[in-house]
A and B are shown apart, each in its own frame.
Chain A
Amino acid sequence: MDTSHILKPTATVSNSLFSKIKRFFAAALLADFVLGNAINVFIENLNKKGLLGLGSDFQAYQMIWGESIWLNILHLIILGLTAGIFGFIFGYLSRRVSLSEKIIFTFFYVFIRLIFLALFSVIIEFFIPSAATTWNEVIGLTIYVITSSAFNATFVILGYVIMFASALYFIDKGSKVINDPYYSTDKSVNGTLLDVKWYHYLWLFIPISFYTQILLNLLYKVGHTIVTLISNFKWHTIFGGSDGGKGNALDVAWGSLFFIFIVAMIVIYLMDYLRKVLAGETDQHCGIKLLISLGIGIVIPFLILFFTSLAG
């Protein structure tokens, strides 16, 4: 069997440690501050609709989501998902990652907040010793309040374990995808994600987080529509019976299902078209490209935000 027709695995490109640190921050920012934040905003919106029952002072970045075991399990799933997205993007961007690097970078991703907290404590102790005692007491009390409940402590520990396992697993998956001999995207140019150069992501976080928010809302509406259809469907109408012809939740559900499908298709098409424009796959004048990029990336999201309820 001759393998020369197969694309060269990019695993042969071993990025330097400094490059990997850059990619670590890129993946962490994209996963946590763009996609993770979109998920958190969506969850907070659901709570404001009265669906989660966590009270109006709830914020999604809290370590414990109320007293409900199911909501905390949902929180664990979201933590695992976000860590998985980080791992996948990091593995994908880094090409080859050794097990040692996987462990070290995952450790930094999972405990980055605690590391900053520890560093901050050291800095305070060093530069403002007078405030160090108060600071230590505040942190100590916060830790005690969280860990004094077995329920809270269990979910905090589970959260860290799931984040660690998920990130570690998906770094491997990400590096395997990019090194698949039949996978052609991002093979030829370094520093690209879906053939779009890394610096575009400095502004792309606006449309990405926004369209992610819309897709999450659409996903929720699909779930809602299905539940409404099942719970309100008058089965006798299948056999020719009449439901009185009155408008109710069922009609709204039928209508929204069609609407959701159309909007989802448009959003996916717009994002794909924006990717093609930025990756240089379209043959257009650079002025047109700029207008299309700004239109899809900035103008349409803001129009949707101000004039529709699609973004929740």
Chain B
Amino acid sequence: MAKTHYDIFGISPDANQEEVKAAYRRLALKYHPDRNQDKEYSGEKMKEINFIYSILSNPEKRKWYDSTISYYSSNEEREERSAYTPYVYCNSITISDSKGRTTTINVGDTIYYLVEIDKSIITWKYKSKEYFDVVIKQIFDPSKRDLFSQVFDFDFGKTPLFLVHWGNSEMMIYREDFENLWISSSTYKSIDNRKGVITGVILVLIVGFLVYHFANKFSVDSETKARIDRIQQSNKEIIEEDKAYYKENYFASESEVNYILSEYYIPCTKEETKTLKRVELFNIPDRLGISVGEVKKGEPVIKLLQCPSLKKIKVKYGDKSGWVSESSLENSFCDFEQNENLEEDE
């Protein structure tokens, strides 16, 4: 059975305004985010309480709500009865909301109602306007208005539009109320987008100011800039020379040169040795490399580079070169060769 507003407030449907107010205060105290550890739940509950209070504290809204209570409180009976009554629902409707925006609303869509809730940051207390949202469960087809009286047993001073639900609570929303108090999800999105654009613009302005401020703060004078440019240019020339040297003399690829320059690979003195078994040449010094060829057992190879951490050696065999494990070579000792260019640079 769906919960009514009175069930949520813990009062009888006959309660007077004082009792409604007292119940509201009691619940507001109970669920106030400042007094609850689960702030997400209490914040949401506060919106629900304020939404219900906005209806029960207004005599006219309460009267219209009261006239539909029997509809919510007898779910099973309603389902049973619907088998014998005309079908008065539709899946979508095109309608204007309280912001004057005309949109098509479907079953399952969310609609929003503005509520004011108390909030606080440490000792600063303020009122925040937030949207309470509900999901549309059924849409009453306006073209079948004449048949409504066969389905419902209450007075139609207003036109029923939606049956909405949140959790296990239900509520009827009239067309007149929707057009004055509620907004559709597309209006909600457009309000959200507008706020987003404003936030974006403010953020861009702040970033612009900060960039300008820090660009001045961290500025480098032209003399230092020129000195850095000279050093960078000089380093670049030296590195290019070294790269050319290793590429020519060690058949090193661009990648391998980077490892040689960072001393991960050691250039050997290009001694000759023999393979102890049939071995595959790999493109990288790891067993997950790609095979680029193979060398038979006892064949002479020239040691080019060594990767001590992976215990691999790059060898040259005929016109092919690739990495093999140290254990597959007769003599895996690599005599380090100093690059003359590097010595000069130092």
A residues within 8 Å of B by Cβ?
1-4, 6, 8-9, 11-16, 18-19, 48-58, 66, 98-100, 102-104, 107, 118, 121, 136-137, 139-141, 143-145, 148, 181, 190, 220-221, 224, 227-228, 231-232, 246, 248-249
9 cross-chain pairs, A with B, having the tightest CB-CB distances, nearest first: A53-B255, A99-B196, A56-B264, A55-B262, A140-B218, A49-B286, A50-B284, A100-B199, A55-B258
A3: which of B107, B197, B309 is its contact (CB, 8 Å)? B107
Give the residues in chain B near A228, CB-CB below 8 Å.
Answer: 290-291
- Kindly state the separation between the CA atoms of A203 and B197 in the bound complex, as whole angstroms: 39
Are the C-beta atoms of B138 and A2 separated by less than 8 Å?
Answer: yes
Q: 1/0 contact trace for B167-206 toward A, CB 8 Å?
A: 1000000000000000000000000110111111001000
| A141-B224, A143-B218, A232-B291 given; A56·B262 CB < 8 A | yes
- Kindly state the separation between the CA atoms of A137 and B223 in the bound complex, as whole angstroms: 13
Q: Does B44 contact A (CB under 8 A)?
A: yes
Q: Does B152 contact A (CB under 8 A)?
A: no
Give the residues in chain B near A102, CB-CB below 8 Å.
Answer: 196
Q: 1/0 contact trace for B17-39 toward A, CB 8 Å?
A: 00000000000000001000011
Interface positions of B from 96 to 141, Cβ below 8 Å from A: 107-108, 110, 130, 133, 135-138
Are the C-beta atoms of A3 and B262 separated by less than 8 Å?
Answer: no
B residues within 8 Å of A by Cβ?
33, 38-41, 43-44, 47, 89, 91, 107-108, 110, 130, 133, 135-138, 165-167, 192-193, 195-200, 203, 207, 210, 214, 217-220, 224-225, 228-229, 232, 253-256, 258-259, 261-264, 278, 280, 284-286, 288-291, 294, 307, 309-310, 323
With both chains docked as a complex, state the minimum distance between the C-beta of A180 and any C-beta of chain B, in angstroms: 11
- Kindly state the separation between the CA atoms of A48 and B91 in the bound complex, as whole angstroms: 61
- Kindly state the separation between the CA atoms of A50 and B307 in the bound complex, as whole angstroms: 9
A16: which of B33, B256, B262 is its contact (CB, 8 Å)? B33
Give the residues in chain A near B166, CB-CB below 8 Å.
Answer: 8, 12
Are the C-beta atoms of A48 and B309 separated by less than 8 Å?
Answer: yes
Give the residues in chain A near B278, CB-CB below 8 Å.
Answer: 246
Residue of A nearest to B188 (CB): A98
